[in-house]
A and B are shown apart, each in its own frame.
Chain A
Amino acid sequence: MTIDIADKTPLPAAGAEIPLDAEEMKRARSARRETIGRWVLPVIILLLSVYLWDRVCVWNEIPHYILPRPGQVFETLLADWGILSVALINTLKITFGALLIATLGGLGLAVLFTQSKWIEISFFPFAVILQVTPIIAIAPLILIYVDSITAGLLICAWIVAFFPILSNTTLGLNSADHNLQNLFRLYGASRWQTLRFLRLPAAMPYFLGGLKIAGGLSLIGAIVAEFVAGSAGSGSGLANQILEASYRLNMPRMFAALILISVTGILIFLTMNLLSHLLLRKWHESALKREI
């Protein structure tokens, strides 16, 4: 009856190591190559394309006010860091503020929707309307009606970001295993217990999927709203820097701001991936390494 986990067969002594044959060596080498290649290859491609960009500028004698060389962009990034860093922080504030509200709002609404069919029937269409109307079309209205520009920006970014969390989490909350739901009923679990111990954990992978999309979208929402608001001054973000630089044909600064936006997006994506991995690695299929 008891399961024997102790291995009864003696392992070969440490000294008597069996040498790897040619086939095994080959497999080990290719495994190592793959691990290194996963990181090295993208970096090489990136460096190569930056070098090519530089060469294209030189070969075709493109003036810097049309296409600056990468070196110039980098110099501008350092030289204008004072202005750009303030703009970056402003954009980050809007992005993460919106992401936070979108997460809480999306999660809260999803829980509410699954608790009552009537609430879902009543309000889900409005969530869809908010989602399908292009933000760039509503943004001017919002920015007129809302006095504080920060609040206006937050609302715009929130509208873009909350829907994936809402729809994914709703799906997740509803896809808890039916037999487990029966089991919970059988043991007389309360609504709260079913939510806490069954529905929320079951929805976790879906929620994290939504969060990954929302992370990128809240940055997009923030940038779009900044473009529409077009304000200069203390509250201005990276989009305003791009607009302003474009009026002055300051191409290097436009590129520098663009790079900051991209890097921000990449970092958000990586953070979400890491978060998702940490939360799911123990149990969810998506985070498991498959033995082949």
Chain B
Amino acid sequence: MTAMVQANMQIDTGIGQPIVSLKGISKTFSNGTVALNNLSLDIRQGEFVSLLGPSGCGKSTALRIITSLTSPSSGRVEWPMEESRQKDHELSFVFQEPTLMPWATVFGNVWLPLRLKGVSKKAAYDEVMEALKGVGLDQFADSYPRELSGGMKMRVSIARALVTKPKLLLMDEPFAALDEITRFKLNNDLLRLWETFGWTVIFVTHSVFESVYLSNRIVVMAARPGRVVNDMAIDAPYPRDEDFRTSPVYSGFCRNVSEALHEAMKSGDHL
């Protein structure tokens, strides 16, 4: 709910205080792969941060460590804005696949996070429908996931993430499997929702163009071992739309970020 209050202040870059801090995170998998080496990163409130890098640079691992689905080998994750020992962090996660329950309707899928918190169907109805309306799927509440297209499934996944009104939204290459037209459309929708709700977003992607279009900060990572090599601000004003996508400012940023990414790839030993 507090996220709603801050909706207006997040348009400017980096004025919030850190919502989550990674301090010297390293992760070595049991097979010896060093996924992350001494990663330190502050994510400030209201930011739209993209983690950009080649595969194997540990960007997804970093996301999983923030959610505590994976525990770091060393280092720690701090939540400066939270009460002392809050059980659940107010975050939502959008996976690369829509990850819907095939046996439940669209409504049932979006209801799930609330249901797990003990909210009855009746009590959750308004919130679920509001979330569905937010992604334009309120007409499809009674459909089953198999009846929807790939893009619509992803919308349901996003609706499920926003029904809990999270402070932090983590997205792990959510649009990677979609066609370009759907992807552009969902990019716009995501930006609109971000501007409305004032979340902080951490968005993992391997697309330069997507990251520049969406974010106000891009963290470029390199692989083997996974580490941050560049931290760039994309200080183009929001709201961004199709005009921005074709503007020289946009292509300028894309060129810079591409160069940074190439540097990152060169510094690695692969390919």
Report B205 CB to chain A, min CB distance, Å: 18
- Cβ-based interface call for B271 (8 A): no
- Cβ-based interface call for A180 (8 A): yes
Interfacial chain A residues near B180, Cβ < 8 Å: none
A201-B102 Cα distance, complex, nearest whole Å: 9
- Cβ-based interface call for A184 (8 A): yes
Question: A186: which of B69, B117, B152 is its contact (CB, 8 Å)?
Answer: B69
- Cβ-based interface call for A198 (8 A): yes
Q: Is the CB of A283 within 8 A of B99?
A: no
Interfacial chain A residues near B220, Cβ < 8 Å: none
Q: Is the CB of A177 within 8 A of B99?
A: yes
For window 198-252 of chain A, which residues contact chain B by CB distance below 8 Å?
A: 198, 201-202, 204
Q: Is the CB of B103 within 8 A of A188?
A: no
- Cβ-based interface call for A187 (8 A): yes
- Cβ-based interface call for B116 (8 A): yes
- Cβ-based interface call for B87 (8 A): yes
A182-B139 Cα distance, complex, nearest whole Å: 28
Interfacial chain A residues near B152, Cβ < 8 Å: 3
Chain B: interface size category: 20 to 34
A183-B115 Cα distance, complex, nearest whole Å: 13
Q: Is the CB of A186 within 8 A of B112?
A: no
**From B155, which residue of chain A is reached at the shortest CB distance?**
A3
Interfacial chain B residues near A122, Cβ < 8 Å: none
**From B157, which residue of chain A is reached at the shortest CB distance?**
A183
Interfacial chain A residues near B103, Cβ < 8 Å: 201-202, 204, 282-284
**From A285, which residue of chain B is reached at the shortest CB distance?**
B146
Report B143 CB to chain A, min CB distance, Å: 10
B 181-194 binary contact with A (CB < 8 Å = 1; else 0):
00001001100100
Report B148 CB to chain A, min CB distance, Å: 10
Q: Is the CB of B146 within 8 A of A184?
A: no
Question: A1: which of B117, B144, B189 is its contact (CB, 8 Å)?
Answer: B189
Interfacial chain A residues near B140, Cβ < 8 Å: 3
Q: Is the CB of B112 within 8 A of A197?
A: yes
**Known contacts A201-B101, A204-B103, A283-B103; is A3 also within 8 Å of B139 by CB?**
yes
**Known contacts A183-B93, A186-B67; is A283 also within 8 Å of B112 by CB?**
no
Interfacial chain B residues near A263, Cβ < 8 Å: none
- Cβ-based interface call for B97 (8 A): yes
Question: A184: which of B116, B117, B144 is its contact (CB, 8 Å)?
Answer: B116
Interfacial chain A residues near B192, Cβ < 8 Å: 1
For window 1-39 of chain A, which residues contact chain B by CB distance below 8 Å?
A: 1-3, 5
Known: A1-B192, A177-B99. 12 other contacts (CB 8 A): A1-B189, A3-B137, A5-B139, A180-B101, A182-B93, A182-B95, A184-B116, A186-B93, A187-B117, A197-B115, A204-B103, A282-B103
The 9 A-B pairs with the shortest beta carbon distances in the complex, nearest first, are A2-B136, A179-B99, A201-B103, A283-B102, A189-B116, A187-B116, A283-B103, A1-B136, A188-B88
Interface residues, chain A, CB within 8 Å of chain B?
Answer: 1-3, 5, 177, 179-180, 182-189, 193, 197-198, 201-202, 204, 282-284, 288
Can you name 23 A-B pairs with beta carbons within 8 Å?
Answer: A1-B136, A1-B192, A5-B139, A177-B99, A179-B97, A182-B69, A182-B93, A183-B99, A183-B112, A186-B69, A186-B93, A187-B113, A187-B164, A188-B88, A188-B116, A188-B117, A193-B116, A202-B103, A204-B103, A283-B103, A283-B144, A284-B103, A288-B146
